[in-house]
Amino acid sequence: MLKADNLHLPESIDGWKLTGPPQKITRETIFDYMDGGGELYLAYKFNQLLVWHYQPQKESEEEIIVEVYEMQHPDETFGLLSLDWTGEPVRLNEKISPSAENPISPSYTALYGEGLLRASVDNLYLRILAPRETAEIKDIILKIGKIIATKTSPPATPEILKILKPQPTSSWQVKKDRTSYFHSNLILNSLYYLSHENILHLGPDCEAIYTEWTKTKAEDKKAARMIIIKYPELNMASQALIDFIRSYLLEKSGGAEESKASAPEGWVKVEDGWAGWKLAGDYLALVFEAPDKTSGKELFSRLNF
Amino acid sequence: MVKERKAITRRDFIRGTVSTALGLALIKPDWVQKSIAERQKNSENKSLVILVRDQNVLDDELKVNKQVLTAMVERSLLELTGKKDVKQAWLSLFSPKDVVGFVPTPMMNPTHQELVEVVKESLVAIGIPEANIRNAQGKNVDLAPITALVSLPGLKAHWLTGIGTVIKNYILYSGAPRNYHYEDSAKLGEIWHLPQVAGKTRLIIVDALRPVCDKGPQFDPRYRWPYKGLLVGTDPVALDVIGLKIIQAKRDELRGEPWPISPPPICIEAADSVYKLGHSKLENIELRKIGWDKEILV
């Protein structure tokens, strides 16, 4: 794994100079640095953050801020990048071949937009930004990103993404730019709100993906959603399903949540469409807003379990 | 503190049963109940929210034109108070004897310093000594000597609470802000009933010059845009409702399809139905729009 402490940014670059050594932010001090924003990184496996500032050598109010989030694993940086796939894809290390096309998520490792570069560089997540963008500033941001990415390894994606099999002939296709990888209920709620409480028992030992699906030929492009969670233990998946039914589908279960959850697959019509679940070992898959049961079952047919 | 573990879910928002669920879930401590009883407003009156915009308040480099900003603040005060004179408008809300605390957003898309200055200069102009106008944002602020609060939050989406603007602006007064995140963000309204806070807010000006419609509170330039507006009023709930509408409309425009704020800001509904801080339903809010109307979004 890469260590942010081992990074050496150039003292000056194209007329911009470092203002000093990096500020180091730990798990304990992240709230002092960014208040409620710190929870985002703690929801992934955050180690530390180093922050550098560049200013022009000629006196100016401009600045470029280089944030390097050292995470515990490249899956975490993939997760952070996957929260928002918008932007201009950028290759920061020309020596590394772009990753193979992925059937359910984009293969980008760096995205640029409006003065902000976000990148997954092994286990380092980069945010390099300037409050005010110019062509010159964009150039320098990308140069800094390339310097940091010099030692990167070929990118990989979390194993759980392989849980979905491609099916080009299916009438339902995934919207790749909406696929996100996460562990925490807080992240799920920022993507697709289910409840303010952690009704799916998500946590750092879980892995999950959120996906959106649309019907390719339909005029109505309203998306169905599928969330797939891998729990660390078998009984956790089944218990999560019981609690999900109890919290989300209470009046539909007739008080028999455990009995309902013992069926490996189930479907319920709710206000915004069909909701369904599929339990297999330590995996739980949930579908929301399916227009009908048939569509929901077709989504479940894409699962490799 | 949550009375029962009945989880509020997405389905409650779709069915419109959030208020009922919140009423069952949230216990109001004695000091909150007492404060609500003492301050029960006439809920039949609509809450007035002024939206004032001027395309010249920010230049091409997004620097604030303070003269234009001053004019915006003055226009909104006249509209809000119904007075014909700016000084009288301020005097209808504040007295020269007041000790005033400003509560701006301090960091991560902070309130524009120029707005703080304009409000300060306006209060000095009505006879409040400069020494009696102070920054009151923070955990360790002594609110006891402060007789009047001016809330000056920045308009922003918040990834944990949906919106992080008016109702959330006093979170540090709780002494334990982390107790008001996640599902407990529904309780944010109770902070407004703290004895040292209750009844002191005379004016709220939401800095909507460059709001943030996603990824808040962390700065992300992709989701900050020059709306060039201010939202002014005295009802914290109504102001958050209108702010939310603006943010939501911008999100939908950016994606070209509905892009709901997630999680939905549960604090707004609770601030109305449980904590009686103001109106959350649009039919109880009168929105008056002044000035520039291009891409107004509401």
Query: Do the chains contact at B62 and A132, CB–CB below 8 Å?
Result: yes
Select from A132, A193, A197 the Cβ nearest to the Cβ of B264: A193
Average pLDDT, chain B: 92
Q: Could you tell me the pLDDT band of residue B43, with boundaries at 50, 70 and 90?
A: low
Interface pTM (ipTM) of the complex?
0.91
Whether pLDDT at B67 is above 50: yes
In a domain, B165, yes or no: yes
Average the pLDDT over A146-153 and give the result. 89
Question: What's the per-residue H, E or C state across chain B?
Answer: CECCCCCCEHHHHHHCCHHHHHHHHECCCHHHHHHHHHCCCCCCCCEEEEEEECCCCECCCCCECHHHHHHHHHHHHHHHHCCCCHHHHHHCCCCCCCCEEEEECCCCCCCCHHHHHHHHHHHHHCCCCHHHEEECCCCCCCCCCCCEEEEECEEEEECCCEECCCHHHHHHHHCCHHHHCHHHHHHHHHHCCCCCCCCCEEEEEEEEEEEECCCCCCCCHHHECCCCEEEEECCHHHHHHHHHHHHHHHHHHHHCCCCCCCCCCHHHHHHHHCCCCCCCCHHHEEEEEEECCCCCCC
Q: Which residue of A has its CA nearest to B108?
A: A34
Q: Could you tell me the pLDDT band of residue B41, with boundaries at 50, 70 and 90?
A: low
Whether pLDDT at B4 is above 50: no
Whether pLDDT at A108 is above 50: yes
Q: How far apart are CA B256 and CA A154, in angstroms?
A: 34
Q: What is the pLDDT of residues A1-47, one digit of tens each?
A: 888 998 999 999 999 999 999 999 999 999 888 877 888 999 999 99
In a domain, B204, yes or no: yes
Whether pLDDT at A51 is above 70: yes
In a domain, B32, yes or no: no
A153 to chain B, minimum CA–CA distance in Å?
27
Give which of A63, A189, A198 to mutate to test B binding, by max B Cβ within 10 Å.
Answer: A189
Average the pLDDT over B36-63 and give the result. 88
Select from B11, B158, B217 the Cβ nearest to the Cβ of A270: B11
In a domain, B156, yes or no: yes
Percent of chain A with pLDDT over 70: 96
Q: Which residue of B has its CA nearest to A247?
A: B7
In chain B, which residues have their Cβ closer than 8 Å to the Cβ of A137? none
In a domain, B3, yes or no: no
Select from B8, B108, B257 the Cβ nearest to the Cβ of A195: B8
Q: Which residue of A has its CA nearest to B157?
A: A190
In chain B, which residues have their Cβ closer than 8 Å to the Cβ of A270? 11
Q: Bigger pLDDT: B27 or B227?
A: B227
Tally of structural domains, chain B: 1
In a domain, B22, yes or no: no
Q: What is the pLDDT of residues A59-101, one digit of tens each?
A: 888 899 999 999 999 999 999 999 999 999 999 988 877 777 7
Q: Identify the pLDDT of residue A256.
A: 64
In chain A, which residues have their Cβ closer than 8 Å to the Cβ of B185? 196
Q: Could you tell me the pLDDT band of residue A253, with boundaries at 50, 70 and 90?
A: low
Q: Which residue's entry shows tokens 């709220």?
A: B204
In a domain, B242, yes or no: yes
Q: Identify the pLDDT of residue B48.
A: 97
Whether pLDDT at A143 is above 90: yes
Select from A39, A132, A197 the Cβ nearest to the Cβ of B183: A197
Q: How far apart are CA A47 and CA A65, in angstroms?
A: 19
Which positions in chain B have a beta carbon within 8 angstroms of at least one beta carbon in chain A?
Answer: 5, 7-11, 13-15, 61-62, 107-108, 158-161, 164, 181-183, 185-186, 215, 217-222, 257, 260, 262-264, 266
Query: Do the chains contact at B14 and A133, CB–CB below 8 Å?
Result: no
A186 to chain B, minimum CA–CA distance in Å?
7
Select from B7, B13, B108 the Cβ nearest to the Cβ of A197: B7
Provide the residue range defining the domain that includes B244.
44-291
The answer to whether the predicted template modeling score (pTM) of the entire model surpasses 0.80 is yes
In a domain, B248, yes or no: yes
